[in-house]
Amino acid sequence: MQKLIITAAITGAATVPSLTPYLPVTPEEIASSAIEAASAGAAIVHIHARRPEDGFPSSDQTIFEEIVHRIREKSDVIICITTGGSTLMTIEERTAVIPILRPEMCSFNLGSINFALHKSLPAIRTFKYDWEKDYLEKSKDFIFKNTFKDFEHLCRLIKETNTRPELEIYDVGHLYNLDYLVSEGLISPPFHIQFVMGVLGGIRGNPEDLTFLHTKATVLFGSDNFTWSVIGVGASEINLSTMAIHMGGHVRVGLEDNIYIKKGVLAKSNAELVRKIVDLANMLSRDIATPDEARSILGIQNKL
Ligand code: KMH
Ligand code: ZN
């Protein structure tokens, strides 16, 4: 079995600051949390930016530059920049920094969903910032837009910048969208597929959901043509990670996707979540990939 690649998703856009005091918000906090997660065993860090003054999701180039620069000073971890941004951004805003920063990886979302966040509302008693309540409430009626036109834009972008995509699959139809792009010659294997499970609006995080997605990807692309990783959004994070470790997949954890280290207990850092995966991998006799080993598994060449 391949060594286990752990990705740490440091801050995201779906977790609002009022949900947890441990969410990194400023460029300095995001970078130091990423460096700490890498030291704990993450080979990849998935990066979003936020406005430092209030944590609002941002596509600002200078904020991304500061985060990447700070990480690069201290770590050789693979940096994966989001192109998902937040549901309020246009595809142009979401992808603007990729040709400038030329990261080793970027996310590539393969379908439009109603990425609903309103179920987080009851967990918040007092809101730290004005924007948060509205942002969560409005998500009920908001589409995370990833159309075929957007896919074409992203396919061009990853080709031009030689960026390895993390292919985000929120439901089975998204695998068929990927297959369509292959048939049109817009993208070609080997792929790194990320099953994103447990988002309200996409597939849930039950064991049979993961085996189904994995089987479907194998049927469509052939087992030698893709590596895969799983994101269990919310409560399913650790359970799905355990399945992936056992099945030969890879794992993404982090405060972007889940804020709890165990039932009712907030994770104090991204590193704490990564350490839990390292412990599970040790128990299941799966070795952890270093960033360079992950580069070799994922076919990332000549980039840092
Ligand atoms: N927030 C995750 C569920 C992206 O950044 O492109 C999905 C994600 C999307 O990471
Ligand atoms: Zn993300």
Residues of the chain with pLDDT under 50: none
The confidence score (pLDDT) of residue 21 equals 98
**Residue 253 Cα, ligand 2 centroid: separation in angstroms?**
11
- Ligand 1 atom closest to the Cα of residue 14 is 1
Nearest partner of 162 among 106, 109, 82, 96, judged by Cα: 106
**Residue 58 Cα, ligand 1 centroid: separation in angstroms?**
14
- Ligand 1 atom closest to the Cα of residue 233 is 3
**Residue 110 Cα, ligand 2 centroid: separation in angstroms?**
13
Query: What's the alpha-carbon Rg for the chain, to the nearest Å?
Result: 18
CB 259 within 8 A of CB 18: no
The confidence score (pLDDT) of residue 302 equals 60
CB 250 within 8 A of CB 227: yes
- Ligand 1 atom closest to the Cα of residue 84 is 6
**Residue 118 Cα, ligand 1 centroid: separation in angstroms?**
17
The confidence score (pLDDT) of residue 303 equals 61
Residue type, 265: V
CB 254 within 8 A of CB 38: no
pLDDT (tens digit per residue) in 180-200:
999 999 999 999 999 999 999
Pocket of ligand 1 (CB under 6 A): 9, 12, 14, 46, 82-84, 107, 109, 168, 196, 199, 231, 233, 256-257
The confidence score (pLDDT) of residue 51 equals 98
